[in-house]
Structure formats: structure tokens, C-alpha cells
Amino acid sequence: MNTVDYQVQNVLLVNRLRDQSSAMIGKVQKIGRATMERATIKDVAKLAGVSNATVSHVMNNTRFVSDGTKQIVERAVEELNYRPSQIARSLSVQRTLTIGLLISDVGNPFYYPIIQGVESVAHANNYDVYLLNAGYDQKRSVKYVRSMIERRADGIILMSSRMSMEIVGEATRHKIPTVVLDWNEVAFQDATAIHFDFERGIRQAVIHLIELGHRRFAHVAGDLSLWTARIRRDLYLKILGEYGISPATVPVVEGNFKIEGGRRALHQLMNTPAKPTAVFTVNDLTAIGLIFEAKQLGLLVPDDFSVVGVDDIGLASQITPSLTTLALPGFVIGELCVSSLLDLLSNPTQEDSLRTHMVEAKFILRESTAAARLNTH
């Protein structure tokens, strides 16, 4: 096509759009006077002078539509302030475009970036997210999962430390694509599992503490009825044993994953015969509780004892001293949860090997660890 022909076509297209826009103004005034109700796809089609199917293809990007027609439809959508019905769109794609996200405790800041990651990928794929707070309650968790099934959610993401096969089974029995985070007690046949790999990070933390001269170690666990608490304790004790520290000499105090649990645990640790100089905690909130309570008792971290946490929540780098920890990339975890769920939706028969993902916790060195002062105890 030569330059003259190209310019002529452009002029013709501009004139066509101008004429149709003028006609559209008249149509929209009539439609606006005729009804004050919410505009429908039929209204948009009538105003744009196209079929309902063409409007649908433009809105959902499901089939090629010429640029000129697309602009006319988009102008009609804007003029009528048209918002497509979610129910109608769901029926057209045979999905509800909703995801259920069940979380142990929405008050735990560990979940904040995960929720953001979930929402980011969900939004990019036109999905809405139902946020469900389990409150560490299995009965409530089962109730919420059943609610998502009744609402015909396209998929469910389970992030509850009080997980059970009853909870997972409620979803998988109904063939609802399911992603389970950080719960590895059993294998899943009909769900994707995302696990946290703590071994390398814990090993780095132990080596770091030993190099600082620490020999008296302790652990503040979470609720030990939970797999997530037991696996962190067991890895820590195993790795200490590999470096010559007998697990039998390591006090383990059971906490509750919260700041208050860390505060209580410190009193127990300070009453042990050989007070520890290095404490590894199940998560950052517990570690922060230790640090806060140490100040109340006239102790200093890391002068009197070093502390290492897990998670790398936002507060970990803001407190004094800043917290040495094992970082889990929350936003990335959230993105991975939704992308894995979308993979299940598009390929429900994928191989089992593709249904397991590992996310590594990385050692982050900050101010809460220092050389041991063994002669002070």
C-alpha cells in the first residue's frame, strides 16, 4: 500500500468514526431518557450498531474485532457507563471467577504480603478473592470450605496451620481445584502443595551462631500439636546434633506463634539451669516477644542472648535490635498460590510431580545476634 492510499484509508476511518459518534450521541440520549436502570449488553450493542456477540468479544477479548469497531463499542460502553454482569460473564465461561483464600489468622503480619501477591495475580486474571479467617479453628475452616463449594468458587487456597484431611477432603471430593500451603503431613492426590524448605536457612543460622561462640542453645516452638511447629523444631535439633550439640541439652519451650507466647517463653528459659545464649524461634512474632520481654527483665539482645526468627515480617527490620531471621518471600508465595491454582483449572490432569512446589527460606543477618558471653551466666 502506498502512502496516498494509506492516508485515504485513515481519512475514511476518521470520517466513519465521526459520523457514528454523532449518531451515537443521539442514541445515548434516547436510551438515557428511556431508562434509568443499569445498562445492558443489548443497550451497548444497539448504541454501537453491532451485535451482542461483538460487544461480548470486545469486553472479554475472546475473538478478533477490528480496531474501528472496537473503538465504537468502547465509546458506547463509556457513554452508557456499562458494567458487565459478573453472573453473565461467569455463565459465558462456565466459571464464577472467584477464589476462596482461607488463612489461619488474618491478624498475623506474615500473611499480609501473601494476600497482596494472591490479589495481584487474581486481579490480573479477572478473579475476585474471598478472604476467610479461620482463627485457628478447624470447625470454622470446614464451614468456610463448604461455603466456597456452595458458592461454586473456582478454586480454594488453604493457608491454615490447623489443617486436616477433613478440610482438604471437603474441597477435593467436590473436584474443586485446591492449593495447600505449608502442610506436609500427608501426600495429596487432588491438590497442589506448596512447601517451605527451612533446612538450608536453619543450617546457616546454626553455623553463624556456632562461629559466634554459642554452645548453649534453646528453641521457642509454636503449638507442637501442629506440623508446622514440629518440622521447624525437628530440623533445628537435627542440625544442632550434626554440629556436636546434643538435642537432649537444648530446652524447647512451647509457644503459640504470637508475641505473647514469646514473652511467656522467656521466663521459662531464664529459669533453666544453664541459661541459653542463643534462641531460635518458630517465627518472628515469637522472637519479637522475646526481645520485648527481655527489656522488661533488664536484659539486652544480643548482649545477653542472641535471637533468630522465621518469616521476615515487616516489623523484623524495624525493631531495635533488628531481627536476624529466615526470610520467606510472602508476595512471591501469594503469586505462586494463584498461578498454581490457575494451572490446575486449565490442566486438571497434570502430573503429580507438577503439583508440588518448594519455597526456600533464606538466612538474613541483622542485629539480634552477636558473640556469646558465656562467662555472664
Task: Identify the pLDDT of residue 183.
Answer: 74
CA dist 97 and 87 (Å) reads: 9
Whether 213 and 335 share a structural domain: no
Q: Return phi, psi of residue 102, to 5°.
A: -100, 125
Q: Is the domain of 76 the same as that of 103?
A: no
Residue 178 within any structural domain of the chain: yes
| pLDDT of 34 strictly over 60 | no
223 lies in the same domain as 280: yes
Identify the band that residue 25 occupies on the pLDDT scale cut at 50, 70 and 90: very low
For residues 295 and 238, membership in a common domain is answered with yes
Q: Which residues contact 115 (CB under 8 A, 6 or more apart)?
A: 101, 103, 106, 131, 334
pLDDT digits (tens, 9 = 90+) for 328-338: 999 999 999 99
Of the pLDDT bands very low, low, confident and very high (cuts 50, 70, 90), residue 122 is very high
Q: Does residue 298 surpass a pLDDT of 90?
A: yes
Q: Are residues 265 and 370 in the same domain?
A: yes
Average pLDDT, the chain: 86
* Least confident residue range of 24-33, 211-220, 258-267, 299-308: 24-33
Q: Are residues 286 and 167 in the same domain?
A: no
Number of domains in the chain: 3
Question: 136 and 77 in one domain?
Answer: no
pLDDT in tens, 56-103: 888 877 778 898 999 999 998 888 888 766 555 554 556 789 999 999
DSSP 143-171: HHHHHHHHTT-SEEEEE-SS--HHHHHHH
| Same domain (yes/no): 27, 147 | no
Residues 213 and 303 in one domain: yes
* Same domain (yes/no): 122, 265: no
**Which residue range(s) make up the domain with 316?**
199-328+363-376
Query: Are both 221 and 320 inside the same structural domain?
Result: yes
- 351-363 pLDDT per residue, tens: 654 578 999 999 9
Res 247 pLDDT > 90: yes
In a 13 Å sphere around the CA of 195, the CA atoms on its Cβ side amount to 16
Q: Is 6 helix (H, G, I), strand (E, B) or coil?
A: helix
Q: Please indicate, yes or no, whether residues 367 and 221 belong to a single structural domain of this protein.
A: yes
Domain boundary among 56, 84, 112: 84
Predicted local confidence at residue 18, as pLDDT: 55
* Residue 144 scores a pLDDT above 70: yes
> In degrees to the nearest 10, what's the CA dihedral of 159, 163, 168, 169?
-170
74 occurs within a structural domain: yes
The domain that holds 46 is classified in CATH as 1.10.260.40
Question: Which of 33-47, 261-275, 339-353 is modeled with the greatest confidence?
Answer: 261-275
pLDDT at 72: 92
Place of cell 500439636: 225
User: For residue 167, what is the domain's CATH number?
Assistant: 3.40.50.2300
